[in-house]
């Protein structure tokens, strides 16, 4: 007990630390259609803004929890399926989750788009594999393999919704809960009066399935309408799922884990409270 307490105190004093990046796939990633650009790193190229693109070999970065038995969340940065905003929608999110007592894994899924019409196809393959890895290795990161969540921003929010809810094979890897922060492309068109994408390429679960619990955070002035989050939450609730939606009047798009607006400052604390209510996190 003394050793555990000392370890926790040390963790809190030093702050959360990530482990080195690790590959999502042991061999060549499946369903790849893009050729690597000459002279680029297959693990991605990071620009002056800290955004990563040209990812041919997807990786993940684990942020273990301070104490065993914690929930663990796969974090999917946004970037329009063209790049990854992996600092304010990735590493900084993992730091906040660690402070809540949650383990995190930041996923560097493949970008840019392999298919402009269906840009999510290859990222979904990477993310489903990530769910499998997290369940297999959760205990290495002080996490509970039965408390696996997925969290995404913008395109990453679309990715999280698809991994959690979209129609797929019966044995497709699914998380235990999903968090969508200003998710994009839920609607057929990015208009407040549009309709949710449905069918095999949609975000609406197959009839007869009970959706995993969902948490949404959005701004009313976002160009990707908050009505998309509310519409998906309504559908999930109608199918017996548990949903919570937070919409702030201001904030626009892309605030992530920053100090930019009220939404960006408060959403993680609200998420922590929701996870306690849902039984995923202990207080």
Domain boundaries, the chain: 19-24+39-278
Res 3 pLDDT > 70: no
* Mean pLDDT across 265-271: 98
Contact (CB, 8 A) for 143 and 71 = yes
SS3 (DSSP) at 199: coil
How big is the CA angle at 268 (ends 105 and 275), to the nearest 5 degrees?
Answer: 80
Q: Is the peptide bond before 94 cis (omega within 30 degrees of 0)?
A: no
254 Cα distance to chain centroid: 14
pLDDT number for residue 5 = 38
pLDDT in tens, 177-236: 999 999 999 999 999 999 999 999 999 999 999 999 999 999 999 999 999 999 999 999
Question: Greater confidence, 177 or 8?
Answer: 177
DSSP state of 185: S
Res 16 pLDDT > 90: no
pLDDT in tens, 98-153: 999 999 999 999 999 999 999 999 999 999 999 999 999 999 999 999 999 999 99
DSSP state of 243: E
Gap between the Cα atoms of 197 and 99, Å rounded: 35
* Mean pLDDT across 41-49: 95
**35-63 burial code (b ≥16 CB/10 A, e <16):** eeeeeeeebbebeeeebbbbbbbbbbbbb
pLDDT number for residue 1 = 37
Res 89 pLDDT > 50: yes
* Structure tokens, 162: 């698809």
Gap between the Cα atoms of 101 and 67, Å rounded: 7
Could you tell me the CATH superfamily of domain 19-24+39-278? Alpha/Beta hydrolase fold, catalytic domain (3.40.50.1820)
Within 8 A by CB and 6+ apart from 17, the residues are 63
pLDDT number for residue 283 = 83
Gap between the Cα atoms of 268 and 107, Å rounded: 18
Whole-number percent of the chain with pLDDT over 90: 93
* Mean pLDDT across 166-184: 98
Q: 15: pLDDT confidence band, cut at 50, 70 and 90?
A: low
Question: SS in 3 state form for 1-55?
Answer: CHHHHHHHHHHHHHCCCCCCCEECCCCCCCCCCCCCCCCCCCCCEECCCCCEECC
């Amino acid at each position: 007990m003394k050793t555990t307490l000392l370890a926790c105190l040390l963790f809190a004093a030093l702050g959360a630390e990530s482990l080195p990046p690790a590959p999502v796939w042991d061999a060549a990633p499946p369903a790849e259609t893009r050729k690597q650009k000459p002279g680029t790193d297959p693990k991605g190229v990071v620009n002056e803004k800290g955004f990563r693109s040209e990812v041919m070999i997807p990786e993940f970065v684990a942020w273990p929890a301070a104490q065993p038995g914690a929930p663990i969340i796969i974090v999917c940065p946004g970037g329009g399926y063209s790049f990854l905003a992996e600092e304010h929608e990735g590493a900084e999110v993992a730091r906040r989750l660690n402070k809540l007592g949650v383990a995190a894994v930041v996923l560097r899924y493949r970008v840019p788009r392999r298919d402009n019409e269906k840009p999510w196809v290859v990222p979904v393959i990477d993310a489903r594999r990530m769910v499998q890895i997290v369940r297999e290795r959760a205990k290495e990161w002080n996490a509970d393999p039965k408390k696996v969540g997925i969290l995404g921003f913008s395109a990453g929010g679309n990715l999280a919704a698809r991994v959690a809810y979209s129609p797929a094979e019966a044995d497709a890897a699914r998380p235990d809960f999903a968090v969508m922060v200003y998710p994009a492309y839920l609607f057929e068109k990015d208009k407040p009066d549009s309709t949710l994408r449905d069918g095999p390429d949609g975000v609406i679960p197959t009839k007869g399935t009970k959706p995993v619990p969902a948490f949404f955070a959005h701004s009313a002035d976002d160009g990707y309408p908050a009505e998309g989050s509310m519409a998906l939450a309504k559908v999930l609730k109608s199918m017996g799922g548990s949903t919570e939606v937070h919409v702030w009047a201001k904030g626009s798009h892309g605030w992530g884990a920053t100090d930019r607006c009220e939404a960006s400052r408060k959403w993680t604390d609200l998420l922590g409270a929701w996870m306690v209510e849902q039984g995923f996190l202990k207080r």
